[in-house]
Structure formats: structure tokens, C-alpha cells
Structure 1
């Protein structure tokens, strides 16, 4: 039996429900927690405060993964191909800085890999990639009802219209990465 090599990745790709739903299906991912990072207002923000766009926080997920099964680079490739990294402060109909595309790195290695992956995937996009790469300061868990949102609300309109098609695209592009 091999020892797990658990690592963290913190990513914002618009609505955290979408990003969480994708990474919950990735082989090697142990846990995905929806939350908030990157803000300037002190204290633990609430969803209502985040939605105002005034706190500076982004909706993010914090992914605990086993680096013996999946690399940080592969996590980022999945991330960069399952959201639109070319739209500033928006994903689809979700508009505001809280929906920005962002990679919060935990160390210099992650910073280096994030820059490398963005450079590698850039030619596949018609428009320039606007994904932020910034050091993680603090991660706040989102409220309980946001955790596992897609799994608990698959029949909800947003889930059917936005998340289900995104998951279908993910499964097609990254079939070899499915649990």
C-alpha cells in the first residue's frame, strides 16, 4: 500500500458550483470545498457579501488531491479547459469580479506550473487568457448549502442549463481522468 501525497490547489473558474462538480469526478481528487479567496475585506465573508462584488473575493474551490495519482499540472489543464479563461470577470451570464478566472498558488512550484500551463494552452484560445495567478492569502469555506451543490440539486434550473453540459464536455475531453 502506497502512502498518499495529499496536496492543495485553489482555483476560481466562475461559479464554484461548476468547478466543484467537475473536480469531484476527477480520479485522485480526495475532497473539493467551495469557498472564497482573494478579497480585501477582513473577516469571514458571506455569500451575500461576495455577490455584491464589493469584497474583492472570488468564488473558488479548494481541491485536496493525491499527487501520486494526478499532478498539479494535470489539475490545471482540466481547470483551464473546463471554463472560459478569456473572459474578464465573468463566466457566461455570471458577471462580476467574484466570477473571475484565478489560480491561487500555494508555493513557488505551483506559481511556476500555473504560468507554464497558461502558456501551453493559450494557442488553443482565440482570445487572450485573462486568468489571474496570485499567491493564496486565505481560504474561507462557503456556507454548508454550497458544498456538493450539484450533487444535491441536479434538477435545479442552473444545474441543468449550465453544469450538466459542462460536465458532459469534461467527461468527453478528460475521460481518462474520471473516477
Structure 2
């Protein structure tokens, strides 16, 4: 479905060239993150445009990068991943300061942003590239991920059995440049306005109340 929206977006850009898009994201204040203390986590929860945008708003996250993991080919392209034949999932790599935000908090956000009971899909985005998956670096991190899944499952937020995969992280491939910060550059495209935007607003409402978001500059 996302590829359809990309084609539609291209047609709209041609027909609407010259129309100025209204910017919708405010500049976030830089936080006191210890660059020498960063840890990394990689997981997939459907379209990476939404996941990346949300995690970049979290206090304690230095940078969230869209990319691909879990496949069997090197240097995969977006077009190749979309075929489902490379085995990769759309993922986000998050660099964070554990002194500001914990692994458990990141997992809470992860399970908030997507439905972990849907197998190889998120809504109308269908395919193994949209699977729910957590990549761990070692056995200790795997155990933390399993505990976070159990906690979320027991909360009852998503009725049904979770199908989230656990896999050893072998390689993270950054996605093409145009995917990075995609939502903020293209908020008014059909897919972003209909699918990504509402998810981001729910995220901001919920975690803003919890005080987890970076403050916005005036």
C-alpha cells in the first residue's frame, strides 16, 4: 500500500508544484546527551517513517535512523525490500543515552506505536518487511526484550497473542537519504496525512503527558 501512496505522491507533486507546504514540526531543543555514553537498539514495527519520527522526539534519544535489518542480501534498496524477497524488515536504529531514557521506556514506546498481534503487516501495509521484530545484540538484551513484551502483553493494550520476533542483530543498513525524516518533509502526502500523522499525534498526546518528549523551541 505504501508504494501506491508514493506513486500518488509523485503525481500530486507534479500537479501541485509551486504550492507551499505548511511546515508542521517545530525545532526541538537540544538536550544534554552524553555522546560517549550512547547505546543502540534496532527494531521494526511497520512503516519506519512513523517509528523514526516518534523516537526522534523522545528526550534521551540522540538520533533515530530508518533502515533495514534481518535479510540475506547486502546493501538492500527500498525497492528490493518492498518485494519481500530480501528478507529484510523496515527498522529503526535508535541511539540513546541510558542515563536519560531506559531500554524499558523505549520498549514501552515501541509496543505503543504498532500492533504486535498482526503477523507480517501493520494495517494495510502487508508483507514480511512490515513484521514486528526486535533485534538484540546479546542474550542479556534478549531477556530484557522478552520481559518488555511480556509486560506489554499482560497490560491488555493489544488483545490477542503477540507475534513479535526476536532475532540476533547481524547488520543494520541505513535506508536511503530521502527516507530519513520523511514525514516532516512530506506531511501532506496522502499516506503521511492519513496514516502516519494520526499515529504521531496519538504518540505526542500520550507521551507528552508523561513528560517523555523533548521540549520545542518557541
So what's the TM-score if we normalise by structure 2? 0.79
Looking at secondary structure, tell me which structure has more strand per residue: 1
Q: Which residue of 2 aligns with 1:65?
A: 96
User: TM-score, normalised to structure 1's length?
Assistant: 0.95
Query: Which residue is 1:89 aligned to?
Result: 120
CA contact (8 A) 1:21 1:163 kept: no
The alignment status of 1:26 with 2:58, answered yes or no, reads yes
Corresponding residue number in structure 1 for 2:171 = 138
Equivalent-residue separation in structure 2 for 1:3 and 1:135 (angstroms): 27
For residue 8 of structure 1, what is the aligned residue in structure 2?
40
Q: Deviations over 1:38-65 (max 9, x none)?
A: 002x321111100000110000010001
| Number of positions where the alignment pairs a residue of Structure 1 with one of Structure 2 | 178
How far residue 3 of structure 1 moved from its aligned partner, in angstroms, is 4.3
Q: Does 1:169 align with 2:179?
A: no
The question of 1:99 aligning with 2:95 is answered: no
Aligned to 1:38: 70
Considering only CA atoms, is the larger Rg found in Structure 1 or Structure 2?
A: 2
Instruction: Classify 1:127/1:155 alpha carbon distance in 2 versus 1 (closer, same or farther; 3 Å).
Output: same
The offset of 1:21, in angstroms, is 1.1
**Cα distance, 1:108 vs. partner?**
2.4
Secondary structure, aligned partner of 2:44: strand
- C-alpha contact 1:72 1:110 (8 A) present in aligned 2: no
Q: How does 1:100-139 map to 2 (within 5 A)?
A: 100-123=131-154, 124=156, 125-139=158-172
Alpha-carbon spacing, 1:57–1:2, altered in 2? closer, same or farther (3 Å)? closer
Matched, 1:76 2:76: no
1:132 Cα offset (Å) = 0.6
Residue aligning to 2:27 = none
Alignment gaps of 5+ in structure 2: 1-31
The 3 A distance-change label for structure 1 pair 2 and 100 is: closer
* Alpha-carbon displacement from aligned partner over 1:123-168 (angstroms, at most 9, x marks no partner): 2121111111111010101111101101111111111111111111
Within 1, Cα distance between the matches of 2:92 and 2:34?
25
Question: Could you say what secondary structure the match of 1:177 adopts?
Answer: coil
**Which runs of no fewer than 5 residues in structure 1 stay unpaired?**
none
Indicate the SS of the match to 1:35.
strand
The superposition leaves residues 65-122 of structure 1 with CA deviations (integer Å, 9 ceiling, x where unpaired) of 1111001111011001111111000001100000000011122232111000100110
